[in-house]
Structure 1
Amino acid sequence: MTTIKGPAIFLAQFLGDTAPFNSLESICKWAKSLGFEGVQIPTWDPRCIDLQKAAESKTYADEIKGIVNSCGMEITELSTHLQGQLVAVNPAYDLLFDGFAPASVHNNPKARTEWAVQQLKYAAIASKHMGITAHATFSGSLLWHTWHPWPQRPAGLVDAGFKELARRWLPILDHFDQHGVDVCYEIHPGEDLFDGVTYEMFLEKVNNHSRACLLYDPSHFVLQCLDYVQYIDHYHERIKAFHVKDAEFNSTGKQGTFGGYQNWADRAGRYRSPG
């Protein structure tokens, strides 16, 4: 039987430069006052954690865990959503995604990818140091620009893309396995893993790797008109983490599934570069 931790809150959307959102301790106290029992920590934000230090120093990892525990909270997962995104970036998105990386690797896709992979490896060790067995991330995307079947895709393009995605992730998955931590991909539009079929394609390419698991967030499925309950029937054994938030599909005569630019513009400021 699986024991659910929480309710927890993902801190990424709430961190800011003013109290109580500007330090790990104060934001944990704020979350506790709202009734939350745990936090999912974004590892790219230095106001929360120095990820490399947490991997290299068990003492420091214990200090971070102690800060959270002193507020009456638990760490449910660490998150590398932004770093995971940078494991696989189509060149068309280089400019957009450079902002998720430190300035030292801007305009250098190879260095940016290497930095991202190292970040994931740090996250595996840091999670182990903190006694955490699941880790939240994104898969990145080499193929998202081809998600719609127009213009027609050249034969073999999708298969080649998933082979490359798997080639990049297999060593990371093996590293997480060595440290006893599941990689929980948030299935999300904009990622190569955006529904059940794409997850299955990836799973096949990574040889059904036991650590290639799921972060279940039905809000992303509602907007795709995907049956989010049946999804659980298909993949419940792989779901090791989840997000919960409101979503509803309200089409108008001016906007439907492909819209939402203003909403995304409003959210853009919630994520910041680690550098």
Structure 2
Amino acid sequence: MPSTMKGPGLFLAQFAGDAAPFNSLPAITKWAAGLGYKGVQIPTWDSRLFDLEKAASSQAYCDEVKGICTEAGVEITELSTHLQGQLVAVHPAYDAQFDGFAPPAVHNNPKARQQWAVEQMKFGAKASKNLGLKASVSFCGALAFPYLYPWPQRPAGLIEEAFSELGKRWKPILDVYEDNGVDVGYEIHPGEDVFDGATFEMFLDAVGGHKRCNINYDPSHFLLQQLDYLEFIDIYHQRIKAFHAKDAEFN
């Protein structure tokens, strides 16, 4: 086992809820530690557990959060901005579905929703730095995914245009992460424009090979797409900055 491996970690997003011990950071981290977990990945959109805007501006608050985790017996592995990252780039076909990821004040207003998401992503960079973290995890969003299956036939240049726009939206965000010394590990996932190695390379090209454009590796999504998840590590290991692990079965 690599010397950097400290033990199992848990993404808290799937467990957060209104009932104890899942409704506060002190309680859920003690619960996770009691199950043997050594690290937690914190969902930044869940106000029951974390205040992202406050974390971006207050070192004292971040020290308090770290103290809560330390007292429970876990450490923070990364902050997750999956839902906010998704909203950086939303195809209009998905507007109704993805409004649920945003606060009610920006529902039915795609422009305001995107502006909120971009601001949230920038908060994520600053909060990560304040917490002493070197990587965060997110989604890239989807402008082209509705056109995955080529029927009706796609007009020439449609996908290239979508990735160009995706790059324009993310490049300034990645610059903020560079300023704060934090990598963004995009989870390569069906439903995102980046769902395999080829699309990751297209996105990387669209952001000019940005050093902060990296990967949150989750082989479960590769298995369900019948991709070679081991060869992917051989090819892209230098860009893998975080990982998820969960069961998947192809039927």
Q: Give distance in 2, aligned partners of 1:157 and 1:3.
A: 43
Question: 1:12 aligned to 2:13?
Answer: yes
The unaligned stretches of length 5 or more in structure 1 are: 251-275
Q: What is the match of residue 123 of structure 1?
A: 124
Q: What is the match of residue 165 of structure 1?
A: 166
Which runs of at least 4 in structure 1 moved beyond 4 Å after TM superposition?
none
The unaligned stretches of length 5 or more in structure 2 are: none
Identity %: 64
Q: What is the match of residue 138 of structure 2?
A: 137
1:176 partner letter:
Y
Task: Give the conservation status (yes or no) of the 8 Å contact 1:187–1:193.
Answer: yes
Q: Give distance in 2, aligned partners of 1:219 and 1:148.
A: 22
Q: What is the match of residue 4 of structure 2?
A: 3
Aligned residue runs from structure 1 range 22-101, under 5 A: 22-101=23-102
Task: Give the conservation status (yes or no) of the 8 Å contact 1:138–1:186.
Answer: yes
Q: What is the match of residue 102 of structure 1?
A: 103
Q: What is the match of residue 199 of structure 2?
A: 198
Length-normalised TM-score, structure 1: 0.89
Q: Secondary structure at the match of 2:184?
A: strand
Task: Give the conservation status (yes or no) of the 8 Å contact 1:5–1:76.
Answer: no
Q: Give distance in 1, aligned partners of 2:7 and 2:97.
A: 34
Aligned residue runs from structure 1 range 177-196, under 5 A: 177-196=178-197
Q: Secondary structure at the match of 1:99?
A: helix
Question: What do you get for the CA RMSD once the two structures are aligned?
Answer: 1.0
Q: Secondary structure at the match of 2:41?
A: strand
Task: Give the conservation status (yes or no) of the 8 Å contact 1:214–1:241.
Answer: yes
Q: Give distance in 1, aligned partners of 2:152 and 2:208.
A: 30
CA offsets per residue over residues 67-93 of structure 1, 9 Å max, x none?
111101100000000000000000111
Q: What is the match of residue 233 of structure 1?
A: 234
Deviation at 1:150, TM superposition (A): 2.0
2:223 partner letter:
V
Q: Secondary structure at the match of 1:161?
A: helix
Task: Give the conservation status (yes or no) of the 8 Å contact 1:9–1:40.
Answer: yes
Deviation at 1:148, TM superposition (A): 1.2
Deviation at 1:5, TM superposition (A): 4.5
CA offsets per residue over residues 70-118 of structure 1, 9 Å max, x none?
1011000000000000000001111110010000101110110000000
2:222 partner letter:
F
Closer/same/farther in 2, CA of residues 237 and 2 from structure 1, 3 Å limit: farther
Task: Give the conservation status (yes or no) of the 8 Å contact 1:217–1:243.
Answer: yes
Q: Give distance in 2, aligned partners of 1:82 and 1:142.
A: 15
1:245 partner letter:
K
The aligned length equals 250
Q: Give distance in 1, aligned partners of 2:15 and 2:160.
A: 38
